[in-house]
Amino acid sequence: MKNNQKKTSLAVLSILAGAIYFITLIPNFVSGWEGGIRNLKESQKSQADGVDNQQKGSRILQRIQVETKSNDILYSDSIVNIKTGKMMPVSYTKMYVNDESKEPNSILYLILNIVVFFGGLPFFVIPFVFYKLVLSVYKDEIFTMKNIRRIKTLGFLYLTLYVTKLVYNLTNYYIDKSTIELANYNIVTPDLGHNFLLISILLFIVVIVMKRVMIMKEEQDLTV
């Protein structure tokens, strides 16, 4: 009876984990999709206005992370509060900029886009590996070499996500620093995805612990 309750709890938690995973994943795809649509509209508008898009550069609506240049000034900008009709002081931490400068290296961006495409594939593989692991635990097959390989695979998948995000964001950061300088803001280092690295390290630790447990179990069985 207790074993069935544990299995039911495991199933419910697995479904909940999957739901949370996709809830957090969907906004990233929506954001990327909306960004692509905005870029497409900008390109069409440029062509309609007779502007050579190659000369404008294709890095339009680039999202950058910023901070105010002066620590003494908390609010560097202002925006209209529609409810009061008055200007309200604001300070931005993230913004979209329409970078019309010539693209520094189109080949570099092509390579980066390819890296991001393939580097993002682990997002789809992770749920598959995770649920195979959960199914194995549900069958009471916990300390097995298959599960160790699955956990190790998850570790490498998260490590791949970390490296992809690190390379892509740092590359864009250095390009932005070399082509953009804002009046009241400094461009700062974006999120580098250290949470992926932490998850990867924790998974590799679990692999080491599981291997140690299996060795101890084998030694105990031989002793008996």
How do residues 49-82 score in pLDDT, each as one tens digit?
Answer: 554 444 444 444 567 888 887 766 777 788 898 9
Q: Which domain holds residue 174?
A: 2-223
How do residues 172-207 score in pLDDT, each as one tens digit?
Answer: 888 888 878 888 888 888 888 888 899 999 999 999
Report field, pTM of the whole predicted structure over 0.85: no
DSSP letter string over the chain? -HHHHHHHHHHHHHHHHHHHHHHHHHHHHHHHHHHHHHHHHHHHHHHHTT--HHHH-S--SEEEEEEES-TT-S--EEEEETTTTEEEEE--SEEEE---SPPS-HHHHHHHHHHHHHHTTHHHHHHHHHHHHHHHHHTT--SSHHHHHHHHHHHHHHHHHHHHHHHHHHHHHHHHHHH---SSEEE------HHHHHHHHHHHHHHHHHHHHHHHHHHHHHH-
Q: Total domain count for the chain?
A: 1
Q: What is the pLDDT of residue 16?
A: 81
Q: What is the pLDDT of residue 55?
A: 47
pLDDT mean across residues, the chain: 76
